[in-house]
């Protein structure tokens, strides 16, 4: 539905779950559609694209900013994860977002918290292999956020392709009344996939990080020229990445985009996904090879 109601000038900031639930209940009572963009803040153009899609298609847009501790492993970057609430609020206001939900960790996970929800199988591949806590934390917090915000539509970027598939499975398997809207990955003008973690990169590391999108582009060109062997494509990506310093490959996966099963031959729709540590940042990128 296109928004027709009068919008307020400033964003409503909510940190209490009870208050957020009350606002959503009132919007639902007025038959207004709720669009929801869950984030961990440090907003960039990729987030703003999700927000734009929500503003265009829903009466009210709620954005959450919550750095979710349960999706970080013990040696990961929870403490150093960038937090820029004031500048994020400026961006949300400029975009015309109606409500910001930014709960504290204690509000979301009070002492004695003990319930987690897990999507099996597809959570165990790719990022789930090297970050075993990741998807259990994501599905738990996303289900909690859906229960609090009660959106009609929730918007997620295809940069986190596996996360999207896991959330779609969560919604389908638990019969949740929310439509998951996929939004294509957004790149910087030089090809680097947008990510909050890009700001950890030094200028040298940023140059190195370009090899992710460059190696994917080269892979797509090779496939167009007739290469069908997944090993050949994976070897060429590895070679492209290995040429760069400070580049530590976590995985190169050439797999089915729904089951995440590795492929030997590139036939049918195929996902090529990478995770690479560049300096302090673990970066991911992907592309889809459509059936040809
Ligand atoms: O993609 C993210 O930023 C996070 O994983 C999400 C979906 C907000 C859950 O914490």
What's the mean pLDDT when you consider all of the chain?
95
Residue 7 above 70 pLDDT?
no
Residue 4 has pLDDT above 50, yes or no: no
Q: Classify residue 2: in a domain, yes or no.
A: no
Percent of the chain with pLDDT over 90: 92
Whether residue 78 has its Cβ less than 6 Å from ligand 1: no
Is any ligand 1 atom within 6 A of the Cβ of residue 183? no
- 3-class SS letters over 18-69: HHHHHHHHHHHHCCCCEEEEEECCCCCHHHHHHHHHHHHHCCEEEEEECCCH
Q: In terms of domains, do 28 and 172 share one?
A: yes
- Clarify whether 44 is annotated catalytic: no
The number of helix segments (H) and strand segments (E) in the chain equals 9, 9
Residue 123 C-beta-side C-alpha neighbours within 13 Å: 20
Residues 212 and 282 placed together within one structural domain of the fold: yes
**Separation of 162 CA from ligand 1 center, angstroms?**
12
Same domain, 72 and 96: yes
Beta 99-101 vs 60-65: how paired, if at all?
Answer: parallel
The domain boundary, picked from 132, 160, 183, lies at 183
- Supply 132's token pair: 């075993």
- pLDDT for position 9: 63
pLDDT of 70 over the 80 cut: yes
Atom of ligand 1 nearest to the CA of 167: 7
Residues 56 and 81 in one domain: yes
Gap between the Cα atoms of 270 and 252, Å rounded: 13
212 has pLDDT over 50: yes
Instruction: Note the pLDDT tens digit of each residue in 164-205.
Output: 999 999 999 999 999 999 999 999 999 999 999 998 899 999
The pLDDT of residue 3 is above 60:
no
Using one digit for the tens of pLDDT, what is the confidence trace for 42-69? 999 999 999 999 999 999 999 999 999 9
Identify the sign of the CA torsion 41, 44, 49, 52: positive
At 245 the pLDDT is 79
Query: Quick one: 155 and 99 in the same domain?
Result: yes
225 and 138 both lie in a single domain: no
Tell me: do 169 and 130 sit in the same domain: yes
- Residue/partner pairs of 216-222 with CB below 8 Å, 24 or more apart: 216/272, 216/274, 216/285, 216/286, 216/287, 217/191, 219/272, 219/287, 220/287, 220/289
**pLDDT tens digits, residue range 216-271?**
999 999 999 999 999 999 999 999 998 887 799 999 999 999 999 999 999 999 99
Summarize pLDDT for 19-46 with one digit per residue, the tens: 999 999 999 999 999 999 999 999 999 9
Report residue 70 as tokens: 């349960």
| Mean pLDDT score, 277-292 | 92
Q: Residue 135 — very low, low, confident or very high, per pLDDT cuts 50/70/90?
A: very high
The alpha-helical segments, DSSP class H, found in the chain are: 17-29, 45-57, 85-95, 105-108, 126-130, 134-149, 161-173, 203-224, 230-242
Final residue before a domain boundary, out of 130, 156, 183: 183
Is it the case that residue 145 has pLDDT exceeding 70? Answer: yes
145 part of a folded domain: yes
Q: What per-residue confidence (pLDDT) applies to 246? A: 79
- Same domain for 142 and 225, yes or no, is no
Same domain, 71 and 37: yes
Q: Write down which residue in 183, 206, 225 finishes a domain.
A: 183
Shared domain for 48 and 126, answered yes or no, is: yes
User: What is the number of domains present in the chain?
Assistant: 2
Asked whether residue 278 is domain-assigned, the answer is yes
Q: Of 141, 135, 103, 106, which Cα lies nearest the Cα of 122?
A: 135
Ligand 1, atom nearest to 38 Cα: 8
Nearest CA to ligand 1 atom 3: 39
Q: Do 97 and 153 share a domain, yes or no?
A: yes
Structural tokens at position 234: 């994976």
- For residue 59, give its domain range: 12-183
Q: Is 84 exposed, middle or buried (0-12, 13-18, 19+ CB in 10 A)?
A: middle
Supply the CATH number for residue 45's domain.
Answer: 3.40.50.620
């Amino acid at each position: 539905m296109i928004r027709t109601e009068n919008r307020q000038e400033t964003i409503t900031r909510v940190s209490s779950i009870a208050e957020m639930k009350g606002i959503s209940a009132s919007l639902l009572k007025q038959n207004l559609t709720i669009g929801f963009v869950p984030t961990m803040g440090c907003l960039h153009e990729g987030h703003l694209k999700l927000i734009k899609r929500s503003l265009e298609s829903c009466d009210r847009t709620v954005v959450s900013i919550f750095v979710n501790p349960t999706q970080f492993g013990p040696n990961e970057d929870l403490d150093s994860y960038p937090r820029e609430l004031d500048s994020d609020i400026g961006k949300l206001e400029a975009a015309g977002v109606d409500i910001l939900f930014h709960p504290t960790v204690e509000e979301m996970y009070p002492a004695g918290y003990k319930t987690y929800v897990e999507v099996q199988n597809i959570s165990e591949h790719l990022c789930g292999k090297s970050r075993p806590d990741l998807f259990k934390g994501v599905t738990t917090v996303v289900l909690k956020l859906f229960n609090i915000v009660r959106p009609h539509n929730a918007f997620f970027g295809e940069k986190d392709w596996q996360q999207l598939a896991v959330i779609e499975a969560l919604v389908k398997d638990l019969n949740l009344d929310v439509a998951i809207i996929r939004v294509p990955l957004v790149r910087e003008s030089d090809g680097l996939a947008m990510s909050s973690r890009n700001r950890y990169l030094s200028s040298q590391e940023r140059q190195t990080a370009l090899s992710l999108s460059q190696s994917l582009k080269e892979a797509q060109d090779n496939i167009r020229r007739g290469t069908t062997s997944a090993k050949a494509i994976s070897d060429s990506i590895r070679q492209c990445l290995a040429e760069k310093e400070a580049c530590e490959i976590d995985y190169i996966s050439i797999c089915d985009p729904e089951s995440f099963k590795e492929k030997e031959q590139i036939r049918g729709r195929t996902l090529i996904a990478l995770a690479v540590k560049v300096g302090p940042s673990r970066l991911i990128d992907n592309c889809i090879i459509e059936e040809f």
